[in-house]
Structures are given as structure tokens and as C-alpha cells.
Amino acid sequence: MRKAAGSPGGALDAKVRATAGTALGLALLLTSCGLLPAPSDGTAPPGSQSQGSTATPSTTTPAGSPSEEGTPSSGWKTFTTRDGALAFDYPAGWTVKDPGGALGGDFVDVLNAEGKAMAGLRTNIVTGAECVGKSPYQVYDSEPMVALAEGGGADGGVPRYVFESRGDDADAVATRSTIAAYGITMVPEESGDLACPMFHLFLWPPSGAFFGGTYNPENNATPGDPALPYLEKARLYASTPEYQDVRTMITSLRPGSTSIPSAGTTSGK
């Protein structure tokens, strides 16, 4: 089963193909509650708990502007990565948690006002993989992210934001073969009834990056009967204010200013 949305992405680079092997590429659905692929320097990824200290927000001039889709209100803030290469906007009531020093890149979680993880940002990630099996899928939302292509991730086409699922189990929770997630991908939209496992990574110097999360009805505020099938709850979540904030935040990701000091910072708007 499938629900199409948005326009196809660009041609797929040889280095970025749909994920291989393991059920739906769970290792590639990076969230603060999940596993991380190994960084390009070969060091082992950290666990789900924070390692190191939490970044202290500072009130400074905003590092950039919101995305053109769903412009955030004046209460939103901006986070800029330690190297100044990327920036994104997030709701004022949410927090950015940056353990720092855990990877050879940035390792950031975004928590909502209740302290629940909404998304994670990871950089310096190896992106190569292959598609070895397909499954039923749905696409709930999709939008090209041209700014990332212009900022250095253009090899292989324009990255796109997507909220999608794989599998067709009727269980009320995610299963080993059925899961939904939102993030940024380099993979063009599928045209048939089956799709390769999700691959929510995009090309970004020096290798690749991730910004997204796995949908969990116990974590992501979802209306309706808790006994509803997991995929139906994912569809309902796509219409919630919380999801719209998540979407606006992720699609606001853009090239930052390399002149920004070498420490993750937040700024009020």
C-alpha cells in the first residue's frame, strides 16, 4: 500500500542507494532512542544516553533565517553546529542537547517541552549502502530541500524531506518489519508498489549527515484510539501541530556560516 506525495528527488548518486540487509535499515533511522551508523573515522557510535555535557543556550543574533515552508514565529530559536556548517530553527519551548566530543562530527538531540526526543542531528556519517529487498510503503509528506544541495550536498541530486513508512503489519506498535520515520534522504521517490528500506541520510561534506527521527506513538503525541494500527497512527500524526513543528524544524536545515565560533550555539529570534 502506498500514498504518494511531493515531487521526485534528483538522480541517485552511486554512493547513496537504499539501505541493505537488516529489517528496514533500522540502524540508519537515527534518533536519540536508536542506533547510529559508524562515523567516517571508524570510531564506534555512542549509545542512546547523553555523553558529556549539555550545551548552554546563548542569546545572540540569529545565525540564519527559517525555511520558506512554514516560517517559524518570532519565538523560535536557531541552533548552529560547532563548525558553523549547518543551522536549523526550533520552537522556543524545545531544547537542543549537545553531548559534544562523542563523535568526529556533530551529535545533537532536539527535545520538546516535555523532554521527549523529536529529532537528532548527526554529521560525518558514512552513507554507502545497497538495496537488497523491497516492501510495501507509504509516503505521508515530502518536500525538496534545495538549500542543502546548494550548500555542498548536491552530488546525487537534491535532498528531500520525507515522512514515510515501510511494511504493512496491522499491529498497534512498530514491528521488526513495519516502521515509520521522518528525515532527509537522497533517494528519489519510488514509483511502484514496493520500496527499498528507508535511507534517511544525505550527502554533506566530508561524507554524510542525518537529521530526523523514528515515529513512536508513545513518544510522538498522536490523536485517536491507541489501539489503532501503527501505520494509521503515523498517518494521523502527520496532521498534528507537533508534527508540523518537527517538519518546519527539519526543513529549516541550511548551510551556516563557517565564521561562527567552533562550538554549538543557540540563539533567540
The pLDDT mean for the chain works out to 74
pLDDT in tens, 225-235: 999 999 999 99
pTM metric for this prediction: 0.73
For the chain, give the DSSP string.
-----S----PPPTT--PPPSSGGGGGGS--TTS--PPBTT-PPPP-SS--SPPPPP-----SS---SSS---TT-EEEE-TTSSEEEEE-TT-EEE---SSSSS-EEEEE-TTS-EEEEEEESB---------EEEEEEEEEE-HHHIIIII-TTS--EEEEEEE-----SS--SS-EEEEEEE-SPPP-SSEEPPP---EEETTEEEEEEEE--TTTS---S-TTS-HHHHHHHHTTSHHHHHHHHHHHT-EE--TTS-SS-EEEE-
Note the pLDDT of residue 252: 97
- Among 28-42, 47-61, 147-161, 243-257, the range scoring the smallest mean pLDDT is 47-61
Note the pLDDT of residue 3: 45
pLDDT band of residue 99 (cuts 50, 70, 90) is low
- In the predicted model, is pLDDT for residue 116 greater than 70? yes
Give the range with max mean pLDDT: 43-52, 101-110, 199-208.
Answer: 199-208
- In the predicted model, is pLDDT for residue 14 greater than 50? no
Note the pLDDT of residue 262: 37
Note the pLDDT of residue 105: 72
Higher pLDDT, 155 or 67: 155
Give the range with max mean pLDDT: 45-54, 77-86, 125-134, 246-255.
Answer: 246-255
- Among 16-20, 143-147, 202-206, the range scoring the smallest mean pLDDT is 16-20
Note the pLDDT of residue 167: 97
pLDDT band of residue 269 (cuts 50, 70, 90) is low
**% of the chain beyond a pLDDT of 70:** 63
- In the predicted model, is pLDDT for residue 12 greater than 50? no
